[in-house]
Amino acid sequence: MLLLDKIKNKFRLKYRKKRWPGLINAYKQHLPVSSKTPIITLNEGNTPLILSESLSKLIGNGTSVYLKYDGLNPTGSFKDRGMTMAISKAKEEGSEAVICASTGNTSAAAAAYASRGGLKSYVLIPDGFVAQGKLAQALMYGAEIISIKGNFDRALEIVRELSSKYPIDLVNSVNPYRIQGQKTAAFEIIDDLGKSPDWLCIPMGNAGNITAYWLGFNEYKKLKKNLKLPLMMGFQSEGSAPLVKNIVVKNPETIATAIRIGNPVNREKAKIVKKESKGDFQSVTDEEIIYAYKILANEGVFCEPASAASVAGLIKNKNRIQKESTIVCVLTGNGLKDPDCAIKNNDAIFRKNIEPSLKDISTILGY
C-alpha cells in the first residue's frame, strides 16, 4: 500500500462512526431495561431519513418532505423496533415461547428475534392475505405458522385468549414493550432534524405505531426545551378504515394487506393521540396508495403498499399544508415484502421473449 493510501485509510477509520449497537443500547436510558436484561438485537434502528425531492416539489410552498425509511430494518419493517424490546423482556422474564397474530410483518420480526434469542415462536396468519416476502421470512426464521381461515382480527382474538391461558408471551402491540421499542423512531427523527416535524404522516392498522411515535415525541419534549410537537396524521385504507369511521369493520379489504385490520386494539390510545396532537385520521383509496407507491419508487424508494398510504394521505392534504412546513412520512415496510403487488402495479416497459441478437436489441433501444 502506498503511504498516502495508508494515511487516508487511518483517517477514514478514525472518523468513521462507531458501529451502531441497536436501538436498546443506543437509547437505553429511555427504555425499561436494566443490566439484567439480555439484549436480543439485530442492530435494528438508525434508519435513514431521506429528503424526497419529488414530494417536496409536488407539495410546493417551500415544504420539505422527509421519508423515515423503516423498511431498512433487519427484517424489513418497523416491527423490529418493538420486537427487540418484547423478546428481550420475554427472555428476561424466563419465557420460552412467544405468540402473535399477524398480517405478516409482526410474524417475520417475532420469528427472527425469537430465534435469535433461543425462544420458540408461534404465529397465526390470515390464510391467503400475507404478502409472499413476509411468509418466506416467517418460514425461514423458524416460526411455527398457523394459517387460519379467518382474518387478522379473529387471529388476534385467539392469540389473546391463548396467551392468557397458557405460558406463552403475546408479542402483538398490546404488549407494552413493543410500544417502548417503537417510540425510538421518534427520537431518531428529532436527533436527525434537530427539531420535530410539523406533521407526521403514518399508516394505521392496530394503531400501535402512531401511539409509539406520540409517546416518543412527548418524552423528548420533556427533555428538550422549546421542542414543538407534530400534528399526527394517521391514514387507513378506504376499505379498512375503522379508526376513520369510528366503527368496527367486519370484513376489511385493501390492497395494503399489512393494514387489513377491522378492529384495532389500540383504538382508544389512537383517539387520544389525534386529540392531543390536533391531528386527523383520514382514509385513502387503493388507487391513491398505488399512485403514491409509484411516485416513491420513481425516486428510488421502494416501500410496501401499506407504507405508501402515509404518502397518499400527504398528497391528499396538499392544500392544507402551511408554507415551509417540515413533514415526515413514515415508510413502515420494505417494498420487497410484497413482490406480487409490485409486479402487478407498475408502469415499466418490460419486453419479453426477445431474441438475444445485438441487432434486434439495438433496434428496440432506438439505435
Residues binding ligand AN7 (CB under 6 A): 77, 102-106, 173, 203-209, 258-259, 304, 306-307, 332-333
Q: Which is nearer to ligand AN7, 63 or 216 (CB)?
A: 216
For residue 113, which of 17, 47, 181 has the smallest C-alpha distance?
A: 181
Q: Which is nearer to ligand AN7, 63 or 105 (CB)?
A: 105
Nearest-angstrom CA–CA distance, 318 and 321 = 6
Question: CB 352 → ligand AN7: shortest distance, Å?
Answer: 31
Question: CB 28 → ligand AN7: shortest distance, Å?
Answer: 23
- At residue 303, what are phi and psi to the nearest 5 degrees? -120, 170
Question: CB 93 → ligand AN7: shortest distance, Å?
Answer: 23
Amino acid code (one letter) for 364: I
Q: Which three cell numbers stand for residue 18?
A: 462507531
Question: CB 47 → ligand AN7: shortest distance, Å?
Answer: 13
Question: CB 153 → ligand AN7: shortest distance, Å?
Answer: 11
Question: CB 113 → ligand AN7: shortest distance, Å?
Answer: 13
Helix residue ranges, H only, the chain:
3-15, 23-26, 53-59, 79-92, 105-117, 132-141, 152-165, 176-182, 184-193, 208-223, 242-245, 267-277, 286-298, 305-316, 339-344, 358-365
Q: Which is nearer to ligand AN7, 104 or 133 (CB)?
A: 104
Q: Which is nearer to ligand AN7, 52 or 307 (CB)?
A: 307
Show Cβ contacts of residue 292 under 8 Å, excluding neighbours closer than 6 positions. 284, 308, 309, 311, 312, 314, 315
For residue 312, which of 202, 196, 198, 186 has the smallest C-alpha distance?
A: 202
Q: Which is nearer to ligand AN7, 31 or 207 (CB)?
A: 207
Residue with cell 376499505: 239
Q: Which is nearer to ligand AN7, 88 or 307 (CB)?
A: 307
